[in-house]
Amino acid sequence: MAKAKKWGLALARDIAAHKAGRLPWHKVDHGCVLHGPPGTGKTTFARILAETCGVPLIETSYPAWQRHRDGHLGSVHAAMHQLFGDAANRAPSIVFIDEIDGIPARDSGERHNRGWWDQIVNALIEGIDDIRKNEKRVIVIGACNHADRIDSALMRSGRLDRLIRVDLPTVDDLVGIIRYHLKTSLQGEDLRMVAAGAVGMTGADIEKLVRDAERHARNDNDRPIGVGDLIAALDEEVAKIPPDCLHRVAVHEAGHAAVAILLGISDNVTTSLIRRGQSTASTYIDTRIQAITRTLVEKRIAVALGGRAAEDAILGDVTAGAGGAEDSDLAIASDLAIRSVVQWGLSCSGDILYSPYTAAEQLLLYRPDRVQEVQTMLNTAYGVALDLVRTHRAGVLAIADALVGKRALLHGDIVELLGVPPGHAASAP
């Protein structure tokens, strides 16, 4: 929550300055929208922000307004008016509107009860404008998963004009979240390996993980919790996988990690054999901000195909594990190639073109002549991944073996096991 934290601390300083008479209210931020995946702590952030600022927090949502009286439009408007009135009476204060993306934008194409939703948006804009123009000392924070669904008028300057993304926690973030939920337990213990296995989890997931681990310790003679209990809570599904299958999964993930490091894609790669929903394992690659060039895209395609390449080169055949879902390895690789050719202007032909259609629609319906170029791009990147895995076979196997034993590996562990410096093959493909 680095960006949200930075903004929140600045807001707390400004409110303190205002209370001390050093800063006029119109110089204080009017509000923001926090957006990101579910369970990442947006609501918790708002509560802690209000506590830090020393102001009351008024939590609300569209369903809360809908429940007011008979739920008719006039009653919903009355609930919204009452909300802003209450906030103004308790000012300075923070209004927190949860799931604000549940109010459809007026230009979203929503036809069912469109007039109703237009009036809801209008009333919300009116309420925000009123507290701003009349300096009622109220800050409005919205939270959502899909910021692109919010009406653009709500996001313009002077309203909810600051958009702050709350991403899934990094390894370092997860260490802190785990310690927070452990309270006084396991002080001084190294929790980075647990955090590496928890990559992809949200703060809410970590709270459940710690509860599960504590229950595991209680059920074992009511002893104090240990690091092994956290690993066991992460590992309970993976433990059911047959050893030969688990080794194949480890080889697959080792391929992703090795190719990413060899091509210098990231300086923060972690991998784990921890079940996430339908996925048996995951490799996290924290990519740096870089210009999207054809060379970079080719490298990222090779990384996406690195797992399949490792199965192919080391085990002699491949499974369907790289495909199937919309977020699968093959889907990611194909999407990168298609976008390069028909949307990003990175085609070998030199074509520069943009279309409102999706990349796949444009390719298959309007640019079938580019299908072969996409396939060539995928085949070439796959060849690069295969060559890297074959050249560094011993290192990839060492990563896979360590992954089976430890269940999770940090970036430094992977680099050491690979035995070559990061970016060793950065000139390829």
Catalytic residues: 253
Contact yes or no for 260/422 (Cβ under 8 A): no
Contact yes or no for 425/262 (Cβ under 8 A): yes
| Cα separations in angstroms, 119 against 87, 106, 125, 171 | 21, 9, 10, 44
| Cα separations in angstroms, 108 against 118, 148, 252, 255 | 11, 10, 41, 42
- Count of CB atoms situated within 10 Å of the CB of 304: 28
The two three-digit tokens of residue 30, written as one number: 């009017």
State the amino acid at position 416 in one-letter form: E
- DSSP per position, 289-326: P----HHHHHHHHHHHTHHHHHIIIIISS--GGGSSST
Q: Which residue has the tokens 């690069």?
A: 384
Q: What are phi and psi of 92, to 5 degrees?
A: -70, 140
What's the burial of 161, exposed, middle or buried (CB within 10 Å: 0-12/13-18/19+)? middle
Contact yes or no for 271/284 (Cβ under 8 A): yes
Omega within 30 of 0 (cis) for the link into 429: yes
Distance CA 352, CA 398 (A): 44
The two three-digit tokens of residue 302, written as one number: 């090779």
Distance CA 118, CA 130 (A): 18
Closest CA to 132 of 269, 261, 31, 213: 31
